[in-house]
Amino acid sequence: MEMFADLAFYLVVIVILVAILASAVKILREYERGVVFTLGRFTGVKGPGLILLIPYVQQMIRVDLRTRVLDVPSQDVISHDNVSVRVSAVIYFRVIDPERSTIQVEDFMMATSQLAQTTLRSVLGKHDLDEMLAERDRLNSDIQEILDTQTDAWGIKVATVEIKHVDINESMIRAIARQAEAERERRAKVINAEGEQQAAAKLLEAAEILAKQPEAMQLRYLSTLNVIASEKTSTILFPFPMELGNLMAIKPK
């Protein structure tokens, strides 16, 4: 019996030693860092590799330094021109300061998500619907800059913000289609008017040249006759110069 009691005692001691050793030895991967607290006070950031801690005196919190992807839920946004849309986005960020991400904020994932939602509504609400659809790169950059500035105190670096979807109701889609069609018609009319204006300017320029040089008018007559002669017509009308008509109207004395 005494031998079994000694064996049980040694087993208990071994279990306690293994538990102490397990709590004292930590292994961190290349992308992990350990924020160490000694009796509740921050004493440093360690890792990667093998980390030795004083059991029950020091505690460690693991922090992942890899880039994280955060989906921002669809947000109801009223644009500057009073159009209601639903906008969703995705954010790419990572921890650059494990100390601040652990001490300065309770849950940096939740905090970043909530901040992204409010910033998305705030920024997009200052722009018209056309800008949301046509200038996403500029809006992405504006949102990223604001988020990066505000999350810097938490040791977070926001690398990229991408607006994924801008959902519009059916009535607004039809209105946008009608607006696009009207815009195309307007451009066509403008191009046609510009062509008429340029043609009129060229005709005026040609008329001024012909008025200054009567010989050019005779060449124009011959060119016109050449064109008419090439056509299959039975009747040809020749231009009658006004100067000749005036000479014939003069009666001899």
Residue 249 reports pLDDT greater than 70 = no
Q: Please state which of the ranges 73-82, 177-186, 241-250 shows the lowest mean pLDDT.
A: 241-250
The pLDDT confidence band at residue 151, using thresholds 50, 70 and 90, is very high
Residue 154 reports pLDDT greater than 80 = yes
| pLDDT for position 70 | 94
Tell me if the pTM is above 0.85. no
Q: For 202-218, how does the pLDDT look when each residue is reduced to its tens digit (9 = 90+)? A: 878 777 776 776 666 66
Alpha carbon distance 132, 137 (integer Å): 9
Q: What is the DSSP string of the chain?
A: -HHHHHHHHHHHHHHHHHHHHHHHEEEE-TTEEEEEEETTEEEEEE-SEEEE--TTTEEEEEEE-S-EEEEEEEEEEE-TTS-EEEEEEEEEEEES-HHHHHHT-S-HHHHHHHHHHHHHHHHHTTS-HHHHHH-HHHHHHHHHHHHHHHHGGGTEEEEEEEEEEEE--HHHHHHHHHHHHHHHHHHHHHHHHHHHHHHHHHHHHHHHHHHH-HHHHHHHHHHHHHHHHTS--S--PPP--HHHHHHHTPPP-
Kindly state the average pLDDT of the residues 11-17: 80
